[in-house]
Amino acid sequence: MFGRPDMEFLKWRWKPYECELPLFNATQFLELVKGKSMAFVGDSVGRNQMNSLLCLLSHVAEPEDISGRYKTDAIYFRRWFYADYNFTLVTLWSPYLVQTSDVDPNGHSSNNLMSLHLDKADEAWVREIESFDFVIVSAGQWFFRPLIFYENDTLVGCHKCGLEGIKDLSHYYGYKMAMRTALRSLINLKGYKGVTFLRTFSPAHFENGDWNKGGSCERTKPYTKEEIKLDGYILWTYMTQVEEFIEAEREAMKRGLKLLMMNTTEIMLRRPDGHPNNYVYGHYSSKGKNVITHSDCVHWCLPGPIDTWNEFLLYLLKMESQLSSFNSKFERFV
């Protein structure tokens, strides 16, 4: 659709060791979620996964866009309804998961300084989420931007803020505390009885510069196991998330809730070929010229490697359904 000239990236699929990951089955997915609701909470990469899911399900059913029926901003909070399955699918955009505000009084820009209240979950998604059956939480790339951190309404530090007298706590600190707040806020909602999935960090693949300094992703094949390893800042960002997941899982179990991990970091690290890069053919400005701002090496092509995430999701839903069925039969037996 956007004019990417090569199709090699579509010929590769991740395969786990010593087992098979089934291809996505749209009918099976819709049967599993019949009469239920699902929300993707996080940044635009989370929305990217939801768009992948919409495409995969389109082989079986087309939903109605019901975003306009709600008072929330339809640009950031999108909602679809599959009438034949009584299934609602929603994306709630909250890139930091916690409360934020612009430091710049003139408003938001692409790389301006943001204030994060790390101990306060973003009410925009929290007040919407309590009744959902399945919630997929994710975040990542926005935490590499310049940030100021607050806790208990008190300034505690920053990341790349460049301000004198403020301690640089690194992006790991902000990421850790935001994950902690988001997961525990969800778990502690009184009426929440859903299953929560934490989708792990999705690496970007900029080469020869950052996203705003000419970086791009020109590769047309995956990395081999020998070419790249899960290490450095990607490993530490991932481990920060895993540590918070483990602690939140303990808290969830005390409440009888399910918290599951969708581990996508390492498999996506090996797919530098799966991004849109700067393919904007067919998109023109009013002057008739191609509009190219920055290369996109964060989001994923559709179809493409991101479809594997929804194969993971379907597999986890099947496991959860089988376990629930077993527990129900066991309770009746007892």
Would residue 205 show up in a list of annotated catalytic residues for this protein?
no
In the annotation, is 108 catalytic? no
d(CA 247, CA 49): 25
Position 3, amino acid: G
User: Nearest Cα to 176, choosing from 218, 197, 147, 154?
Assistant: 147
Distance (Å, whole) CA 101 – CA 154: 14
Concerning whether 296 is annotated as a catalytic residue, the answer is yes
DSSP H helices, 78-135, are 123-129
Q: Are the beta carbons of 192 and 228 closer than 8 angstroms?
A: no
CA–CA separation, 100 and 115 (whole Å): 5
The total number of residues shown for the chain amounts to 334
> Is 230 in contact with 237 (CB distance < 8 Å)?
no
Q: Which of 43, 44, 110, 294 is catalytic?
A: 44
Q: Which of 119, 122, 273, 296 is catalytic?
A: 296
- List the catalytic residue out of 67, 185, 299, 307: 299
Both tokens assigned to 310: 């929804």
Class of residue 251 by CB neighbours under 10 A (exposed 0-12, middle 13-18, buried 19+)? middle
Q: Which residues are catalytic?
A: 44, 296, 299
